Chain A
Amino acid sequence: MKADTSPKTLQRCNDFVIKFANINGSGSASANELFARAVMRMGVPIAPRNIFPSNIQGMPTWYEMRVSGAGWLGRRGGCDLMVAMNPQTWDRDIAEIAPGGYLLYDSTKNLPRSRFRSDVVVLGLPLTEMCNSEYTDPRQRLLFKNIMYVGALTALLNMEFAVVEKLIAEQYRGKDKLIGANVNALKLGYDAAQEVLPCPIGLQVERANGVGDKIFINGNNACGLGAVYGGATVAAWYPITPSTPVIEAFSSYCRKYRTDPDNGKARYAVVQAEDELASIGMVIGAAWNGARAFTATSGPGISLMQEFFGLAYFAEVPVVVFDVQRGGPSTGMPTRTQQSDLIACAYASHGDTKHVLLFPEDPYECFTLGAQAFDLAERLQTPVFVLLDLDIGMNDSLCQPFEWDDQRRYDRGKVMSAAELEAGKNFGRYLDVDGDGIPWRTIPGTHPTKGAFFSRGTTRNAYAKYSEAGTDYVYNMERLRRKFETAKKILPQPVVRCAAQPTRHGAIYYGSTSPAMAEAFAQLNEQGIQIDLLRVRAFPFADAVIDFIAAHDVVFVVEQNESGQLRMLLLTEGEVDPKKLLRVLHYDGTPITASFISGRIAAALDAHKVSPIRKVAS
């Protein structure tokens, strides 16, 4: 077949993917964000994602932004408009553009025709030349080039110039000189595009009403804020991508909200430890001593903390750990996303341990579950892991606005007071007095002669006195089992979404898979495939999770790891027939897409019709 030399150009309104290819450290990030916010301010939902290397300067970085009037926030994949600002990655960037798509590039330097594609609309602007004639300062030349391409895009995509202008004014409020300079650069880009390029192109942004009162924030910041609202006073940490911003956010929100107005003193303490062993040790010490404490880390840090998780589990110390998951070891894929620490966290450490895991789906839940984690940890007196991932953590995302019930009080759990001890209440640190497996504790320094105990692992009886007796050990383990039964009831329950019609097919997913799953649900529905959804929000699993599996013949477990870690947990904890749980696994380091999920599910169900699996009684 003869190649089509007159490409049909893409014609789409409020539904496309634009990708910026930049050089790390060139100041492009804030310009790209400006553009994103402008689209959002026009009422059109966006879902941007940073794709960046483990490097600070000079390496390629991409900002991939989905514009979706329909409000799909998962990654779509592909690229309809490439803003190619990095000569190093030119060839692969050009290759990535969809046929009929668009290329915006800096045409200062002449490039041979062979470097372009004939099925792509080429939009060249001499950005460097424009900057060089406008500015003398090399820094300005670099930075304003970015603002210029935002100006050009404003024209090309038929956006409202005033919206971008207003955003700049807000950003540099009180610094009039900066506002003027930025608006000037914006205008230069805008006018140049109007003059020499076919504005508007086939991709357009049209004012809509799809954003509402949603806010735009990333999960790491939301976790930091959640820790502030959750009452954390001690944070100890060791830097690691992609979790570092959780602590940075906590610190900066604390500076804002937790500085004593009278004397400028801090109602919090943040300590950068020498390693993750020390950071979790400090968190355990602080929590043992009655402060709400947390750390934030990523896979390699989780590995180092293992021994301490066992101590916290058996000594029953309420700590909170934010694990922003990423790929593999330190030389794994530290800047790529994965949900691959579930098993490492669920049974972290030696002995018969089990831990509470929470799975926020977006920044909103990073905030709510992040705050709730502290109540749960203290109620259950055990470590609680908040498992987000790089995709949620590092990318700004639209989500429901934060709210807080001012009537809410922290649940400090079963802490025996000096008055209760004085009144002669029976205190046995590891005694199950209430039948829920949760013992009472005392905070050091409470009472001069009552309630002190010596914390250690398991070589003790219910009164925390030294004991190596098997009966004491068994009593303790049985109580811990009861405690985790209690946990199932008080942990966040799963969210179920039923198909339009009754169906024997289900899918289970969690965390950052959420937006792609929602879109896949719609895609499958269009194909006539009915499937019920269940989003797991916590481990150990609520009964509703196991009931959901029982109520379906086939349940897809959709995850972003290679081994099907949630599926393994379901099999172990739910005693489910393995044949019922089909894997849908995405693990190349990029966020999962709706088309991947719906494609896999549709194909599997298709195959299924040919050779149906054994029906399992429910």
Chain B
Amino acid sequence: MTYFAKPKLLRPDTPKNALGYTRRDYEGAISSLCAGCGHDSISAAVVQACFDLDIQPHRVAKLSGIGCSSKTPDYFLGNSHGFNTTHGRMPSVLTGAALANRDLIYLGVSGDGDSASIGIGQFAHAMRRGVDMTYLVENNGVYGLTKGQFSATADKGSKNKRGVVNTDSPIDLVALALQLGATYVARSFSGDKEQLIPLIKGALRHRGPAFIDVISPCVTFNNHAGSTKSYDYVREHNDAVNRLDFILPRDQIEASYAPGELRRVVQHDGSILLLRKLKTDYDPTDRVGAMNHLQERHAIGEIVTGLLFVDSTSESMHRHLNTVEKPLNQLGDAYLCPGNHALEALNASLR
């Protein structure tokens, strides 16, 4: 969905969240993407998730690489600082930002070309390093911005618009994220906001690297028959393992489901991930099981979606580095400079 110029006046009955903000306060500039582009739906989901979570917009830092997908941070959270970095390098810039201030919420937005092709190294290392972030890949199987070349997530046998068949094996970023130590791993579909919004919420409130691969059809270059990233194909092959309800600590209400259908995971901040099982034998806290399931379903052409893995005991990079609680960018001179006295002692040891 493309945003149109927004009316300035708010209707008095416009819903507000606990902070008194309306959804509008979480929106950004008007999107310049193609009408119908999956990426715009993901932007809308981000807006909704932040609104629902009562996040102070300026407490989010949004960073992206290069691509149509990476343009989107301009189109949501207009009161947040953002950084449109270089192609494939969002993870490192975000890592540095997170080092500087551990108190902000970091949202990294990338594309499949950005993360699986040019940026696969940085993607992998951000997962390994335990960067406290939500990493969204808006996955359309092509390079939208450079007009439709296959990306590294394009399935083998998938056809481009001119009928050319992709012969290279695909990279599944979800499988990699699992293997590399991400502690919250999900896949969703831009056309299913019921599934996507709670997944984004859970990720934003997760500590450690939270990765969501969102299949997001490119209507201009990859939405035809023969593509495995088209709206139709994804709808037909969507194999959801569970449905997530995200519950803030303050709204603890048990939903009424038959026992055995439900799985509760409590995150470090008390937020609850309530999972309705769609596959009875699927355990989202079993990393190896998740990897196996993924491989099996992939082999038969299914796209596994849902919250695939979560580790509620996750740690973050700052914990590993044992940094002070106060953000590094707020330490004053007195905390940083040892002063002349220390130099005198040092000089004496160097003679």
Interface residues of A (CB under 8 A from B): 40-41, 211, 213-217, 225, 228-229, 231, 233-234, 236, 257-258, 260, 263-271, 273-275, 277-291, 293, 307-308, 311, 315, 401-406, 409-410, 442-449, 452-457, 465-466
* Cβ 8 A contact of B81, one of A269, A401, A445: A445
**Residues of B contacting A281 in the complex (Cβ-Cβ under 8 angstroms):** 85-86, 89, 91-93, 95-96, 122
How many angstroms from the CA of A75 to the CA of B58 in the assembled complex?
56
Contacting residues, chain A, for B7 (C-beta < 8 A): none
B53: CB under 8 A from chain A?
no
- The smallest C-beta distance from A392 to any residue of chain B, in angstroms, reads 16
Tell me whether B346 is interfacial, beta carbon within 8 Å: yes
Q: Which residues of B contact A217 (CB under 8 A)?
A: 350
Interface centre among B56, B78, B129, B351 (most CB of A within 10 A): B351
Q: Taking A278-B125, A289-B61, A445-B59 as contacts, is the C-beta distance between A456 and B84 under 8 angstroms?
A: yes
Is A406 a contact partner of B340 (Cβ separation < 8 A)? yes
For A446, give the chain B residue with the smallest CB separation: B58
Q: Most A CB atoms within 10 A — which of B78, B97, B124, B321?
A: B97
The reply to whether B79 and A288 contact each other, CB–CB distance below 8 Å, is no
Contact B101 A289 (CB under 8 A): yes
Q: List 8 A-B contacts (CB under 8 A).
A: A40-B351, A271-B321, A274-B124, A277-B89, A285-B63, A289-B100, A293-B100, A449-B79
Select B338's contact among A228, A308, A410, beta carbons within 8 Å: A228
Cα distance, A219 to B144, chains bound together (Å):
48
Given contacts A290-B101, A444-B104, contact A410 B122 (CB under 8 A): no
- The smallest C-beta distance from B237 to any residue of chain A, in angstroms, reads 34
Residues in chain B near residue A275, CB distance under 8 A: 121
B101 x A403 contact (CB < 8 A)? no
Query: How near does chain A come to B157, taking the closest CB pair, in angstroms?
Result: 32
Complex Cα–Cα for A305 and B125 (A): 17
Complex partner residue of A307 from B86, B99, B350, CB under 8 angstroms: B86
CB nearest neighbor in B for A367: B343
Residue B323 interfacial (CB < 8 Å): yes
Tell me which of A233, A280, A406 contacts B339 (CB under 8 A): A406
Task: Select from chain A the residue with minimum beta-carbon distance to B70.
Answer: A456
For A260, the chain B residues whose CB sits under 8 A away are 324
4 A-B pairs with the lowest CB-CB distances in the bound complex, closest first:
A285-B96, A281-B92, A291-B100, A282-B96
Beta-carbon contact of B95 and A271 below 8 Å: yes
Contacts of A405 in B (CB 8 A): 340
Distance of A120 from chain B, by nearest CB (Å)? 34
Interface residues of B in 118-156 (CB under 8 A from A): 121-122, 124-125, 129
Minimum CB distance partner of B89 in chain A: A281
Measured CB to CB, the residues of B under 8 A from A are: 25, 29, 32, 56-59, 61, 63, 73-74, 78-86, 89, 91-101, 103-104, 121-122, 124-125, 129, 318, 321-325, 328-331, 333, 335-340, 342-343, 346-347, 350-351
Q: Which residues of A contact B32 (CB under 8 A)?
A: 466
Given contacts A215-B350, A266-B321, A402-B347, A286 and B96 within 8 Å (CB-CB): yes
Cβ-neighbour of A231 out of B80, B92, B336 (below 8 A): B336
Q: Which residues of B contact A269 (CB under 8 A)?
A: 99, 318, 321, 323, 328
The interface centre, meaning the residue of A263, A286, A307, A315 with most chain B CB atoms within 10 A of its CB, is A286
Contact A287 B101 (CB under 8 A): no
On whether the beta carbons of A452 and B81 are closer than 8 Å, the reply is yes
| B20: min CB distance to chain A, Å | 11
Q: Which residues of A contact B350 (CB under 8 A)?
A: 215-217, 401
| A267–B335 CB distance below 8 A | yes
Asked, given contacts A274-B121, A403-B340, A406-B340, whether A311 binds B85 with beta carbons under 8 Å apart, the answer is yes
Establish whether residues B58 and A445, one from each chain, have CB atoms under 8 Å apart when the complex forms. yes
Q: Are B336 and A233 in contact (CB under 8 A)?
A: yes
Report the minimum CB–CB distance from A546 to chain B (whole Å). 35
Which of chain B's residues have a CB closer than 8 A to the CB of A280?
92
A275 vs B119: C-alpha distance in the bound complex, in angstroms? 12
CA of A448 to CA of B129, assembled, Å: 30
**CB neighbours of B346 from chain A (8 A):** 225, 402
Contact of A308 (CB < 8 Å), options: B56, B89, B343: B89
- Chain B residue with minimal CB distance to A396? B350
**Residues of A with C-beta under 8 A to B339:** 404, 406
On whether the beta carbons of B328 and A285 are closer than 8 Å, the reply is: no
Question: Is the CB–CB distance between B325 and A265 below 8 Å?
Answer: yes
Asked whether A267 lies within 8 Å of B324 as measured between CB atoms, the reply is yes
Measured CB to CB, the nearest residue on chain A to B80 is A452
The answer to whether A266 and B81 have CB atoms under 8 Å apart is no
Interface contact B78-A452, CB-CB below 8 Å: yes
Q: Closest approach, in angstroms, between the C-beta of A272 and any C-beta of chain B?
A: 10
- Contacts known (A229-B338, A445-B81); A308 close to B86, Cβ less than 8 A: yes
Specify which chain B residues have a CB less than 8 angstroms from the CB of A228 in the assembled complex: 336-338
- Alpha-carbon distance A442/B335, docked complex (angstroms): 22
A270, A282, A445: the one contacting B101 at CB < 8 Å is A445
Flag if A454 contacts B82 (CB, 8 Å). Answer: yes
